[in-house]
Amino acid sequence: MMNKNLKINPPPKQAVILAGGKGTRLKSILGNLPKPMLNVIGEPILLHLIRLCKKYGFIDIHILVEFRADKIIEYFGNGHQFGVNIAFHRESTPRGTAGALCDILHTLSESFIVLYGDTFLNVDLNSMWIHHFKKKSELTVFLHPNDHPYDSDLVEVDDYNMVKRIHTYPHKSHKYHRNLVNAALYVIDKTSLLGINFTEERPDIARNMFPMLLQRNVKISGYISSEYIKDIGTIQRIKSAETDIFSGKTDKLLKKRKKEAIFLDRDGVINVESGYITSSKDLFLIEGVSDAIRRINRSGMLAILITNQPVVARGECSHNCIRKIHNKLESSLGIEGAYLDFIYYCPHHPDKGFSGEIKDLKFDCNCRKPKPGMIIQAALDYNIDLEKSWMIGDTTSDVLAAKNAKVKSILVKTGRAGSDLKYTVKPDYVFDSLNESVDYILNN
């Protein structure tokens, strides 16, 4: 666990923006302009990035340019009119993101943050910068779930959020991975890149450089956040980003802003209730739940899974088994354009006497519903306003957990539909399905 009282002395802030893209898929709206000059709500995307850097104190900015570099240099100049200092680095031939970055290492500080010129983001860059040095990482990657994991590079991390491997797309259909996407925002220590020799003509940071760094045992940490970051490489994604800006979603998700969340039970609410699930092959989504969760995602509220999994304490399913089940859950939702922001599960069970049980997990914990531990922890981790949040479940245990955490409760008529009768408690609302529940929350 990270020591929050640890004193650190990070180096001066410096940013590198990769802005060499042509924008081939956007030629109909770009004309002959380079991709970083793409108009987003009336201004070039690159200007948004420069303003974001300035907001968080990154005023020393290095911009790598290639295609129609003259247009970018002419517009931004030395950056003084925008309150920053810009140094341009012009490629004579395309070198790929990794090649271009390594070519200018000798001009950079000991540590720097890397942004992509075709990504719109509203991220607290300073928090990520501080996180990098607290973790004593050599490279930090911004990670988040998204609504298209099937065509994204997915990152596997350990229990301490250190990167173990990168699963580049296309992904094998029978393999399930956590929906944890490399969002193309990095903090890098220069020393971690020294001496790298690429065999590729145009090496990519994620596809070529990261695997090499992992082989060299470079410490790569994952910075997992719900903050807004979106690749705007297609016309549809530009429109989506502009809608999110105007709706206020991009601001709602900022790290320091109080967020609203919808906490979701798993079995009987998201997937078909079929007793204790101990294998991913037994998990199937309830019809319509992807649409409901997708609408939560688009609203700017967080969708957070809160589930009791006593099968771990009972020795019927390991933590690795639970991860595989949840990987399938996330993959199934991702295929339909939906995602869970975070997953919390309680592996404990208070009752003893099961064959093969894990004794260390057999105790009366604070996280097992109806206790509110998982909800409270999520609120602390992600700055959630519980008074404006909800819990949707299919049992009286879910309803009581909601009341104990002081969030509003909804009982759905799927799964057990409250038939467990374990606790004498009434939900605030009752609806037939997750879809109806989400309709009510978002429309009222």
Measured in whole angstroms, how far is the alpha carbon of residue 178 from the centre of its chain? 11
Residue 124: active-site member: no
Instruction: Find out whether 198 and 98 touch, Cβ atoms under 8 Å.
Output: yes
If we measure between CA atoms, which residue out of 291, 287, 336 comes closest to residue 439? 291
Q: Supply the DSSP symbol for 267.
A: B
Q: Strand ranges (DSSP E) for 73-110?
A: 85-90
Q: In degrees rounded to 5, what are phi and psi of residue 28?
A: -65, -25
Determine whether 100 is exposed, middle or buried from the number of CB atoms within 10 Å of its CB (0-12, 13-18, 19+): buried
Which of the residues 153, 267, 341, 398 is marked catalytic? 267
Residue 204: active-site member: no
Question: Whats the size of the chain, residue-wise?
Answer: 444
Which of the residues 124, 231, 244, 265 is marked catalytic? 265
What sections of 233-360 are H helices per DSSP?
Answer: 235-247, 249-252, 289-299, 319-335
Q: Strand ranges (DSSP E) for 265-321?
A: 302-308
User: Under DSSP, is residue 153 helix (H, G, I), strand (E, B) or coil?
Assistant: coil
Gap between the terminal Cα atoms of the chain: 40
Task: Give catalytic residue positions.
Answer: 265, 267
